[in-house]
Structure 1
Amino acid sequence: MRHPLSPTRHPSAILFLVQMLGVLLYPVMEQAPHGQIALNIFGITVLVITTRMVRRTPGITWISVCLALAIIVLLALQSLYALPGLLPWSSGLEALFYFYAAGSLIAYMMEDYRTTTDELYAAGATFTLLAWGFTHWFVATQALQPGAFAQPGSAAPRTWSDLNHLSFALLSSTGMGSVVAESPHARAIASLEMMVGVMYLAGVVSRLIAFTTRSRE
């Protein structure tokens, strides 16, 4: 008998739970002595799980595999040789990877006119993939433009957790939290994320709900 959340039955649920675990663990790992290495290792784990997820969608697997391999190489170089100059490149590629994975999951959810349990989990996983994609875009922007994101009373660069919180707040249209997009480029990306969040809820989630209601009728 298969487990209710087995990777074969509900791979989207596994991805969603791992991402939620990351949201809780990242603040802890950031404060650890070797926090950056731990962050990179966890990030690679999520990349592998997401790549396996893309294989079950209409998305092209080799694109996600190539992006994931390039990101893993850059993260390994950052961890082993402390090369901060690679951060914009790795974060930019991670943003592209998560956006592609989110698009693949949306295609997977919209390819028929019925809603399965795994597609409901995929709706949550897609939301977190979009949030993570914008988070890495924020990280790359901050690396290229110091001071792009600010917090009242602190001049230090914002951590990944700070920017992830901002990303979730913007994508869900619940506000901006304590972190503010200061530069024109940062505000433009923040505006784009708010629009993507509204379109995702209106165009994808509402359609899944309609399919679920129709199947019950």
Structure 2
Amino acid sequence: MCPRLATSFRDIRTRSRCDRDDTSEEWRRSRTTSPSTGPAWPGSRSGGPTIGHVPTADARLPRLLRTVGQHPSGILLAAQLLVVLAYPALEGSVVGRSVAGVFQLLVLLTAVAAVRRTPALTWVSLLLGVPAVVLTVAEAIRPETDGVVLASAVFHAPFYFFVSYALIRYLFHDDKVTPDELFATGAAFTVVAWGFAYLYAAAQVLWPGAFVSYTSPTGAAPLDWFELLFLSFTTMTSVGLSDVYPVLGHARSLVMVEQVAGVFYVALVVARLVGLSARRRD
């Protein structure tokens, strides 16, 4: 019998022998454990994975969904870049425009999801986003109708600006920089460019001939939306590599405002990163 408390040298030897027997018994039990379950691992609720266990596809899928759900800004940025790359191949036919409308719809839905994960008000995103979704489909079907284009711009422009505000607010909500916040810096930049593209679309409906381009040197034919998006990106980045030019006063005013917004956004992000670096050093 193993003594609970060693009071003599003999008790110490007896206690040591009992400890060795207990260790051997535990080792034998672990060797006879079923290989399908394996011995219990530390921190597991019930026999964890065995050595060499490879997660199945069913186990990896929830992990992938959780990872995607933790990066709404990354999804928004990827969706916008996908539309930019796919639109030239899709705009030449009715089917292509329909597919482009679906892509744009996905961008809008992703933007709504990103806004809902920020402290911004949900009802504002619904008030602007739901009509924008409907008008996205209508504009894909009737892109030549001025009323549809103008109505689409009226809802799309403030919706995208609201999303950019929500993303910027998301960037400044704490002193930690997460991977999704890094995606949000790029997503907010592209969202602002999208918003100004819709402002340009509204401007050429209200003031025909506001823009000229290589394909429309006199401005008689309205520019398509992708040309306006190209103008918006080149203006936002201040590179000036565009064959689209504003020729009327109202259009030039919008371009100047976007130039200021682009420079201000870069300064804002740089100041934010410098401030975080200074706090970490302190």
- Output the CA distance in 1 between the equivalents of 2:266 and 2:188: 11
- The residue that corresponds to 1:28 in the other structure is 89
- The residue that corresponds to 1:123 in the other structure is 185
- Output the CA distance in 2 between the equivalents of 1:209 and 1:8: 29
Q: Does 1:177 align with 2:235?
A: no
Residue identity over aligned pairs, in percent, reads 38
- After superposition, the Cα gap between the structure-2 partners of 1:154 and 1:208, relative to the gap in structure 1 and judged at 3 Å, is same
* SS state at 2:114 partner: helix
- 1:197 corresponds to which of 239, 256, 262: 262
Q: Does 1:95 align with 2:165?
A: no
- 1:75 corresponds to which of 136, 148, 151: 136
* SS state at 1:99 partner: helix
- 2:276 corresponds to which of 202, 211, 216: 211
- After superposition, the Cα gap between the structure-2 partners of 1:15 and 1:50, relative to the gap in structure 1 and judged at 3 Å, is same
* Corresponding letter in the other structure for 2:75: I
* Corresponding letter in the other structure for 2:238: S
Taking CA–CA contacts closer than 8 Å with sequence separation of 6 or more, which of the two structures ends up with the larger relative contact order? 1
The structural deviation recorded for 1:153 is 5.6
The structural deviation recorded for 1:78 is 4.4
Task: Select the structure of larger CA radius of gyration.
Answer: 2
Q: 1:77, 1:83 within 8 Å by CA — same for their partners in 2?
A: no
- The residue that corresponds to 1:149 in the other structure is 211
Q: 1:114, 1:215 within 8 Å by CA — same for their partners in 2?
A: no
- The residue that corresponds to 2:226 in the other structure is 161
- Output the CA distance in 1 between the equivalents of 2:278 and 2:92: 45
RMSD over aligned Cα atoms: 2.3
| 1:13-56 superposed Cα distances (whole Å, 9 cap, x missing partner) | 11101101111111112113333323322221111110011011
- After superposition, the Cα gap between the structure-2 partners of 1:139 and 1:20, relative to the gap in structure 1 and judged at 3 Å, is same
Q: 1:131, 1:164 within 8 Å by CA — same for their partners in 2?
A: yes
- After superposition, the Cα gap between the structure-2 partners of 1:141 and 1:39, relative to the gap in structure 1 and judged at 3 Å, is farther
The structural deviation recorded for 1:164 is 1.0
- Output the CA distance in 1 between the equivalents of 2:254 and 2:229: 14
* SS state at 2:67 partner: coil
- Output the CA distance in 2 between the equivalents of 1:178 and 1:211: 39
Q: Does 1:106 align with 2:173?
A: no
- After superposition, the Cα gap between the structure-2 partners of 1:117 and 1:4, relative to the gap in structure 1 and judged at 3 Å, is farther
Q: 2:100, 2:140 within 8 Å by CA — same for their partners in 1?
A: no
- Output the CA distance in 1 between the equivalents of 2:109 and 2:202: 21
- Output the CA distance in 2 between the equivalents of 1:82 and 1:160: 9
The structural deviation recorded for 1:215 is 4.3
* Corresponding letter in the other structure for 2:245: V
* Corresponding letter in the other structure for 1:110: F
* SS state at 1:34 partner: helix
Alignment of 1:7-86 (within 5 A): 7-78=68-139, 84=145, 85-86=147-148
Structure 2 length-normalised TM: 0.70
Could you list the runs of 5+ residues in structure 2 that have no partner in the other structure? 1-59
The structural deviation recorded for 1:3 is 3.5
Count of residue pairs the alignment pairs up: 217
- The residue that corresponds to 2:194 in the other structure is 132
* Corresponding letter in the other structure for 2:114: M
* Corresponding letter in the other structure for 2:236: L
- After superposition, the Cα gap between the structure-2 partners of 1:169 and 1:5, relative to the gap in structure 1 and judged at 3 Å, is farther
